[in-house]
C-alpha cells in the first residue's frame, strides 16, 4: 500500500476526482485529498473525505489537529503527489514556487514523485505562459498525463484540454509507484 496525495483544483473536471480517489482506495492505497478553495465550488470536501476515508485539507486553517502542520506531514508521508485535475493557476503556482494554499505547500515540501493531469480550456492550455510552466515543471521532474488532444470542453469549445480518462491516470500513477524509489 502506498500513500497518495490527491490534489484537486478548481476545474469543472474536479468531480472526476471522486472516481479517481475511489479506485485508488479500492486498489489498497491510503489516499489523502487536498483541495484548493476553488475546487470546493465543483465537489465537496465531504464527498472526498467519505471516499478516501481521510480528512480533506482545504486551507491552512484546517491544520489544527497536530503540532506538525498538516501539509508538511502529508508531504513527508507521500509516495506520490497526484494532481487531477490541475488548473493553469496551480501549474503557475507550482512552477514559480508559490504556496498560497496547502496543495502548493505540499508540492514544494514533498520529495515524492509528482504526476500532474491538467484540465482547462484549450486556449489556456496552449497559451505560452502555461506551456512555459509545463516546461519548467517537467525540468523540475514532474510527470504529466494529458490533457486530451481533442474533445468537447465544458466551455463549449472543442479542442485540447480535457482531463485524461480516470483509468489512464490511475495506470500512470501505478506505473510511477511500481518503480524503485531510486528511479522515481
CA 96 vs CA 21, 43, 103, 108, 137: distances in Å = 27, 27, 14, 10, 9
Asked if 33 is an active-site residue, the reply is no
Joined together, the cell numbers standing for residue 111 give: 520529495
* Catalytic-labelled residue, pool 155, 168, 174, 184: 155
> Radius of gyration (Cα) for the chain, nearest Å?
15
Task: Indicate the burial class of 151 (C-beta count within 10 angstroms; 0-12, 13-18, 19 or more).
Answer: middle
Q: Which residues of 38-73 are buried (b: 16+ CB within 10 A; e: fewer)?
A: bbbebbebeebeebbebebbbeeebbeeeeeebbbb
Provide DSSP, 119-149. ---HHHHHSHHHHHHHHHHHHTT-EE----S
Longest Cα separation, the chain = 48
List residues with catalytic annotation: 155
Amino acid at each position: 500500500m502506498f500513500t497518495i496525495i490527491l490534489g484537486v483544483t478548481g476545474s469543472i473536471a474536479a468531480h472526476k476526482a471522486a472516481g479517481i480517489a475511489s479506485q485508488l482506495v479500492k486498489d489498497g492505497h491510503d489516499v489523502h485529498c487536498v483541495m484548493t478553495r476553488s475546487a470546493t465550488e465543483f465537489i465537496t470536501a465531504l464527498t472526498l473525505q467519505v471516499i478516501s476515508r481521510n480528512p480533506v485539507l482545504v486551507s491552512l486553517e484546517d491544520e489544527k489537529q497536530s503540532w506538525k502542520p498538516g501539509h508538511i506531514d502529508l508531504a513527508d508521508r507521500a509516495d506520490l503527489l497526484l494532481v487531477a485535475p490541475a488548473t493553469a493557476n496551480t501549474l503557475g503556482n507550482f512552477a514559480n514556487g508559490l504556496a498560497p494554499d496547502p496543495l502548493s505547500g505540499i508540492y514544494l515540501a514533498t520529495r515524492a514523485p509528482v504526476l500532474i493531469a491538467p484540465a482547462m480550456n484549450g486556449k489556456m492550455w496552449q497559451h505560452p505562459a502555461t506551456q512555459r510552466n509545463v516546461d519548467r515543471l517537467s525540468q523540475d521532474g514532474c510527470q504529466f498525463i494529458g490533457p486530451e488532444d481533442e474533445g468537447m470542453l465544458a466551455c463549449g469549445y472543442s479542442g485540447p484540454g480535457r482531463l485524461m480518462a480516470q483509468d489512464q491516470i490511475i495506470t500512470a500513477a501505478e506505473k510511477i509507484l511500481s518503480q524503485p524509489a531510486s528511479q522515481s
